[in-house]
Amino acid sequence: MKITSIETSIVSIPFDMHAPPQLFAGKPWSHIDTLLVKVETDAGITGWGEAFGHVVNQGTKATLDTLVAPLFIGRDPRDITGLMQEMQQTLHLLGRNGSVIYALSGIDIALWDIVGKLANQPIYQLLGGSNRRSLTAYQCLLRYTDPVLVAKNCAAGYAEGYRYFKLHEITREAFLAAKGAVGPDAHIMFDTNCPWTVEEAIRMAQSLKDDGLHWLEEPVWPPEDHAGLARVRAQGIPIAAGENAAGLFDFKSMMDAGAIDIAQPSVTKIGGITEFRRILSLADAYGVRVAPHSPYFGPGFIATLHLAAAMPSNPPVECLWMDAEARLFGDYVLPKNGQLPVPQGPGLGCDPDPAVLERYLIDGPTVTR
Ligand SMILES: [Mg+2]
């Protein structure tokens, strides 16, 4: 069995974030952009993947089209771990994080989709299986910088059935506003996106210490300051991080430093399902929990559901809370009552809707043969 072509395309779907539009990496954020990777084989089986992401999609797409995709043509799509090891080594001089690894992540997810379809099994069964039919979703709110809006949208999420909430805010006032808007059975996480020095983060952790925070995410700049993060963790608040980590050994360094309670690998950034699995084993050995980073709407989100389904710890799954004008997978994996279905079809279990692909396409398809 051989890979015959790899196609990349970017779709851009408008969304309503229930707040005034915000900037993301300096650009106005009004559309969810998804970089899709379609891998075709001589057996007639097609796999879909997603490579990170958002405003760096064009960069990742160029890396795929000009560098990474051609290396996979003619190779056996069933040799996933062998191919990923080989390509990581072949390409390592070009960056151990960023577009090269994002590109590999997208192809890796598509290869898992292919082997699942070939075996006529959902990916989570290939990963070890599970009897669960649903997963706990957490309501991931965008950054509003307005505690009144935080409270309003948390209350809306609570009414929809969510019991896990994640804020992208940086003030205790916002945290208390969320806490006041939901019931006592709610768990609130605080994602700060690396705003503070270690000393500032320690002061913040001390001020939040008795507020019942479920976790504090990425409080320290830069994210690779694992020793600094460990000093914040010593204040007694659960610390989560890892969406910006570079592979298995970056996570090992984080855990060796005693920096985290919760590891957050991101399947479209870290090297796909293959690298994510290695981090699961590592976390087990260190007694660290894993909660996937997954603010996606494409195959990366569905791949995350398969990974979460196969994890005995049943982690809460990140679900960006916004209304998109259209969805690549229709209502296939929509959260309901704070729960997400475990996808049951072969491979990812669902292919993107061709009509949505066509209507919202902004770049591509670019085909490598
Ligand atoms: Mg985060």
Q: Cβ distance 300 to 268 under 8 Å? A: yes
Cα–chain-centroid distance for residue 143? 17
Cβ atoms of 293 and 265 within 8 Å: the answer is yes
Tell me how far the alpha carbon of residue 218 lies from the centroid of ligand 1, in angstroms: 7
**Residue 287 and residue 256 share a domain:** yes
Tell me the pLDDT tens digit for each residue of 219-272.
999 999 999 999 999 999 999 999 999 999 999 999 999 999 999 999 999 999
User: At residue 270, what is the residue type?
Assistant: I
For ligand 1, the distance from its centroid to the CA atom of residue 341, given in whole angstroms, is: 23
Q: In a 3-state reduction of DSSP, which class is residue 170?
A: coil
Residues 139 and 113 in one domain: no
Residue 346 in any domain: the answer is no
Same domain, 91 and 224: no
Which domain covers residue 44, as residue numbers? 3-121+352-368
CA of 261 to the centre of ligand 1 (A): 14
- Tell me if 347 is assigned to some domain: no
Compute, in angstroms, the gap from residue 76 CA to the centroid of ligand 1.
35
| Statement to judge: residues 115 and 129 lie in one domain | no
| C-alpha 162 to ligand 1 mean position (Å) | 18
Whole-number Å distance between alpha carbons of 361 and 161: 33
Q: CB under 8 Å to 335, separation ≥6 — which residues?
A: 137, 160, 162, 319
Q: Are 45 and 100 members of one domain?
A: yes
Distance 243 CA to ligand 1 centre (A): 6
Distance 294 CA to ligand 1 centre (A): 9
- Environment class of 354 (CB within 10 Å of its CB; exposed 0-12, middle 13-18, buried 19+): exposed
Query: Are 101 and 202 members of one domain?
Result: no
Does residue 149 share a domain with residue 108?
Answer: no
108 & 131 share domain: no
Q: Flag whether 14 is in a domain.
A: yes
Residues 48 and 99 in one domain: yes
Q: Are 283 and 245 within 8 A, CB to CB?
A: no
Cα 115 to averaged position of ligand 1 atoms, centre (Å): 30
Q: Is 41 helix (H, G, I), strand (E, B) or coil?
A: strand
51-73 tens-digit pLDDT: 999 899 999 999 999 999 999 99
Ligand 1 centroid – CA 219 distance (Å): 10
CATH number for the domain spanning 185: value is: 3.20.20.120
Residues 289 and 363 in one domain: no
Say yes or no: 295 and 361 in one domain: no
Give me ligand 1 centre to Cα 287, in Å: 21
Q: Are residues 78 and 199 in the same domain?
A: no
At position 84, the amino acid (one-letter code) is M
Tokens standing for residue 48: 């879909």
Q: What digits encode the pLDDT tens for the residues 328-360?
A: 999 888 999 999 999 999 999 999 999 999 999
Structure pTM? 0.97
As for how many domains the chain has, the answer is: 2
The CATH number of the domain holding residue 78 is 3.30.390.10
